[in-house]
Amino acid sequence: MEKNAKIYVAGHRGMVGAALVRRLTREGYRNLLVRTSAELDLRDQAAVARFFAQEKPDYVLLAAAKVGGIVANNTYRGEFIYENLMIQTNVIHQSHVHGVKKLLFLGSSCIYPRQAPQPIREDYVLTGPLEYTNEPYAVAKIAGLKMCEAYRAQYDDNFISVMPANLYGPGDNYDLHNSHALPALLRKFSEAVAGGHDRVQVWGTGTPRREFLHVDDLADACLHLMLHYNEPEPVNIGPGQDLTIQELAELIAELVGFTGAIEFDFSRPDGTMRKVLDVSKLHGLGWHHRIRLEEGLRAVLDSEEWRAASPRRTLVPQASA
C-alpha cells in the first residue's frame, strides 16, 4: 500500500475509524480521505456513487457502522439491520465499480453462533443459531463478509474481512443505555467512587467470559493485514485471552479504588456465555496484540479524554515494582 495512495477511511469519527486514522498517520500515510456523516450519508446509494466517482480512492477501510451495546442492539433491531446493510452494501459495491485496489471490511465477533465451540475459529460462521439480542446486527455483518467473498469470487476484487473481539479505548461510548459492558463498568465504578457509594450493580450473573482488545491494537492489526493478507477467508483479531465479567468488574474496581460491594442483577441478560476468538491464523501471519488489559484500562482512565468527560473520576496510582 503506497504511502501516497488515496486511502478512504469510512467512519473516521468512530472509535475504530479514528484509531485507523491515527495508525495510518503515524506510519506516514498522508493522503487520507474522510467524510463526516453530514457530508456523506453512506446509507444513500446515489451519494456514495457520486463520492466514489469524484474521489476515486485507491484503498478503502470500511469501519463505518451503526453500533451499540446489548440494550441498543435488542431495542433498535430494525435500525441496526437496515442501516448496516445499506452502509456496507453501498461502500463495497462502489469499491468494486471504481476499481479499488483493496478493501478491508470490519465485521464483528457477534457473527459467530451463540453456542460456537471455544475458541471460535473463522470457519464457524453460519454453523449455528446466533445470539438473539444482537442478531440483526450480526446478520448484517455476515452479509458484508459474504458480499466481500462473492465479489472476490466473481470479479477477483481484493476485498478482505476481519472479525475483531470486544473493543475498548479512545473514543469509546460511556452511555449506560447504549454502551458495551466494559465502558459501562468503567463509568459505574468511577461514579460510585466519586459519589461515595458503597455498592455497584452489574448486569447479569457475572459468569460470561469475554476478551477485550484495545482499539489501537486493532488498528495496528488492520494495517498489518492490508500489507500482508490477500485471501478470501476472514481473519479474527483479538488477544486470544478472556476473563469473566466478574473478574473484569473486580479489576476495574481495583483500578478506580472502589472498595464496596459488587452486586449482580440476575434479571438482566448475560448474552453469549463465552466468546473468545481463535487467533492462530493472525499469529501465523506475524501479528500479536501488544496492549495488556490492565495497561490499556489504566491508559483510558488516565487519558485527557476521560478527564475532560469525567473530571471527578480518578485512577488509583500503580504500585511500584
Catalytic residues: 137
Q: How are beta strands 243-244 and 209-210 bridged, if at all? A: antiparallel
Q: Which residues are annotated as a binding site for substrate?
A: 188, 203, 210, 270
Amino acid at position 91, single letter: V
Longest dimension (CA), the chain: 61
CB crowding 21-30: b at 16 or more within 10 Å, else e? bbbbeeeebe
Cis previous bond, 119, omega within 30: yes
213 three-state secondary structure: strand
Segments of 107-198 assigned E as strands: 159-164, 166-168
Q: Helices (H), strands (E): how many in the chain?
A: 11, 13
* Numbered residues of the known binding site: 11-17, 106-109, 141, 164-167, 180, 188, 203, 210, 270
- What residue type is assigned to position 318 of the chain? Q
Are the C-beta atoms of 249 and 262 separated by less than 8 Å?
Answer: yes
User: What's the rounded Cα separation, in Å, for the pair 39 and 28?
Assistant: 26
